[in-house]
A = this chain, B = another copy of it.
Amino acid sequence: MAATARTRLQQAAVDLFGERGFDSTTAAEIAARAGVTERTFFRHFADKREVLFDGQAVLLEALLTGIETGARDAPPLDILFHAFRSVCPLLEANRPFSEPRQAVISATPSLQERELAKMAALAEALAQALRTRGIPEDRARLAARIGMAVLADVTLAWLSETGPSLRDRLDRAEQDLKALI
């Protein structure tokens, strides 16, 4: 075993936030439960919120390869939806971790702020990937933002209600999107 300090800190944080709430949990308490010092906590995570946002990198990588494997000259939104579908298994696998995490975030305004920021960064990376596939700058950014909005909407609904699978929800959202225009 001997989980790394970083991992123990993440686990301790999720547990404590779930028990007492984010605001009523101090960084020192998290560190104590993980068996380290408060100072060590802040060496691993830039701030108290960041301890909950560490999976983004993996998701980003998966999305980028999903974009690369899309049809060569499809419209940008089709490329994005193809990428989204390609990461469904990853997201489904992470659900046991994502669900409690999302519960804490949904209950804490300052964490929602951070999540929005992370998604904006993700959208920016997606736009960059679209650009390298020949989509003009403005259109790439617009498509990326729309795509992220849809993905966020869909995954939030998927995590908070029981019902259709992530993939089915994505298909339906794509229909809705096309009907919008």
* Chain A 155-181 interface residues, beta-carbon cutoff 8 Å to B: 173, 176-181
Tell me the residues in window 107-133 of chain A with beta carbons closer than 8 Å to chain B beta carbons.
109, 112-114, 116-117, 120
Q: For chain A residues 51-85, which have a beta carbon within 8 Å of chain B?
A: 75-77
Given that A113-B116, A116-B117 are contacting pairs, would A178 and B180 also be in contact in the complex, using a CB cutoff of 8 Å?
no
User: Which of chain B's residues have a CB closer than 8 A to the CB of A181?
Assistant: 75, 77, 177-178, 181
How many copies of this chain are found per oligomer? 2
Q: In the assembled complex, which residues on chain B have CB atoms less than 8 Å from the CB atom of A32?
A: none
Docked CA distance A179–B77 (Å): 11
Q: B139 near A180 (CB under 8 angstroms)?
A: yes
Most buried by B among A114, A117, A138: A117
Least CB distance from A49 to B in Å reads: 10
At the interface, yes or no: A90 with Cβ under 8 Å from chain B? Answer: no
Residues of A at the B interface (CB closer than 8 Å) are: 75-77, 109, 112-114, 116-117, 120, 138-139, 141-143, 145-146, 149-150, 153, 173, 176-181
